[in-house]
Structure 1
């Protein structure tokens, strides 16, 4: 539902030509009937060509409605009977057998059309239910959360009714705006159950836990409890990659202490601004003080085995790679994994893109992976909605319209001072 409204429905192997091919196919029954008439008049009287008349009702059953199929069957049967009686000079028994055959095919075509229409109606109903479930599990966040503009997209790899395991959430909390995006292993009902569990646990933990490692620990415990209901190998494979982000102004929020055994890092963001607390030039000029005030807002990122987010600012794009890789959620029983929270400056006008591996593992016909940071560098976007729209168009061009995995995208932007577009 959301993809249709936004014009971002899944793209299949035919690219954007499906509608054109379908419109042409609807003319096939009429073309076959016309071909049958032309061939019957063009061939000698002792030669009869009935194949187009037999094929026309079957084509109508596939591409037309019930009325069109009935009319095509009547025309094919009537034309065959008339040509047998007044134009062909072949064997009478052969002509009668041919007429009976075309009438029988026409009747069967009507039955096939009825079955296809019923099946199509059931499939459409199943897809509607699946889309409604997906919408209930992943409701669209508001366009603004705190001081951030927010946009999301979810695109399934196939057009069939299928619910994937990608998820996202955005919450305004006492500790700042917190974001979550991840990918549960598997598809179908088990994936949906895990998504519901993780999104619900995140919304509660985001309000209560003072640190991102605390939030991640709550999600870990939720998945571990859920694993007890599974059997066999599925119990060992109940995990999810995820990236948690906290957007906060340290001047108004309490500090976020690092996890035990980890030390906070302050790598630079695109464009060269230093992270809060880093030494800088200047002797306290007004411009330096204003710039320092603008750069107070930071991103705190905790990556649990997920593709690195992309930070865009002033035509530059950089991957926010974790300093210390960590295991996905639900796998902490396998090893002790430190939870490193990395900090990055989030200057005014910057945009942050979170995505699942459906984007980063999208391949072109030559087998090259899509590189989000490389493809988005030297580009600027007015808002997160335009950013995601451009990403979907670009990845479709990269893959030739073929998708092998679901794709969830979440983009946020820090509004520039004096921005009035929020209420537009």
Structure 2
């Protein structure tokens, strides 16, 4: 991150980096460099220009607007302390210039009040923005820490399956989203989950925590993916009932795809609940694994049987890669508004590891959007391994 989690591959990122970085209150908060260093000089140049126009300009008081603009510019490019020093300097300069040109006391007081009032307003606005930024950073830090607690990176290998995951936030400044994933071994094979909770922020994280906790608890016990999904459905419905007095309680649902890799059979089973379908990468071809019977999202509390989808089975052998994504990938757009299509963008490429698939996809989506994504994205890649495989 800002907004990045990695697992199952080299070069894992720190998902809490964005929270610790906080929100800068101005271009001058960090060490100036390049354009930032030049911007720091703007307030000084405005004060110098004001003095020159007042002393040598053909029109009286011609430099007063520049003297007043100096503190305003300082509030945009300097720290609060630096802006306050600039404001005090502008007031002193205004008095000195009026004394130098011999203006009467009344004009001196009026000029001083003009600069002082504008400086005071600018400093107050900077304080408000800075305070809001600090509160925002604190809320974002809590959300990211909460997400790390409920969304720990899975191991690089579960059973005979290699696992690679990534979580990417759309904006460094945004609250954490509701995309989630989990991978767990079970007596029935390696089971995985990817999903997306409606909304963002702490409400989404709390709903995500319920969904992933229910998955981890039932993954080793539920005999089928349908039973596993029903367990998650009941957990989300109970949670919605528990927070029923909150305005968004009725909207706390999640799309999901549940996966079961049968190592002995060489097959993968998929159970869809309103989520974008996975992709199978095999020999340079990318195939969309569409559900035979689409299902409704989890947590809607629909009557028994209404939201039931079919469980589909596909061959899954060594060298195959199962790619699970959220709509942050499939709905990523280029500058012409064209959606990203993994089937064509990842076709005819050779991959050696699951981590390589993840890295390639993230880089390609970033290139496709020009770095201007508008939604978070979660990615899970699974691939079968031989017993002696080092991956």
TM-score scaled to structure 2, two decimals?
Answer: 0.81
Inter-CA distance 70–182: structure 2 relative to 1 (3 Å threshold):
same
Q: Deviations over 1:293-335 (max 9, x none)?
A: xxx5321111122111112233221111112222322354175
Pairwise CA distance, 1:233 = 9.3
Within the candidate set 307, 326, 329, 2:295 is matched to 326
Within the candidate set 278, 283, 288, 1:314 is matched to 283
1:298 alignment counterpart: 267
1:383 alignment counterpart: 353
Pairwise CA distance, 1:214 = 1.8
1:254 alignment counterpart: none
1:366 alignment counterpart: 336
Inter-CA distance 93–231: structure 2 relative to 1 (3 Å threshold):
closer
1:25-424 to 2 correspondences below 5 Å: 25-40=39-54, 43-44=57-58, 46-86=60-100, 88=101, 93-160=106-173, 162-229=175-242, 230=244, 237-250=251-264, 296-331=265-300, 332-333=302-303, 336=306, 338-415=308-385, 419-420=389-390, 422=391
More displaced stretch, 241-250 vs 32-41: 32-41
Q: Secondary structure of the residue that 2:220 maps to in structure 1?
A: helix
The total of aligned residue pairs comes to 368
2 CA distance for matches of 1:236 and 1:342?
30
Residues 263 and 384 in structure 2, CA contact (< 8 A), matched pair in contact too: no
Structure 1: 5+ residue stretches without partners: 11-17, 251-295
Pairwise CA distance, 1:371 = 1.2
2 CA distance for matches of 1:321 and 1:28?
58
2 CA distance for matches of 1:329 and 1:357?
16
Structure 2: 5+ residue stretches without partners: 5-11, 19-26, 28-32
2 CA distance for matches of 1:226 and 1:99?
61
Which is higher, the Rg of structure 1 or of structure 2? 1
Inter-CA distance 142–21: structure 2 relative to 1 (3 Å threshold):
farther
2 CA distance for matches of 1:338 and 1:397?
38
Residues 165 and 195 in structure 1, CA contact (< 8 A), matched pair in contact too: yes
Pairwise CA distance, 1:409 = 1.7
Pairwise CA distance, 1:144 = 2.3
2 CA distance for matches of 1:205 and 1:2?
32
* Root-mean-square deviation (Å): 3.2
More displaced stretch, 161-170 vs 150-159: 150-159
Q: Deviations over 1:334-371 (max 9, x none)?
A: 75355422222223233222111122122233332221
Pairwise CA distance, 1:138 = 1.2
Residues 349 and 416 in structure 1, CA contact (< 8 A), matched pair in contact too: no
2 CA distance for matches of 1:399 and 1:60?
34
1 CA distance for matches of 2:254 and 2:124?
47
Q: Secondary structure of the residue that 1:344 maps to in structure 2?
A: strand
2 CA distance for matches of 1:103 and 1:157?
41
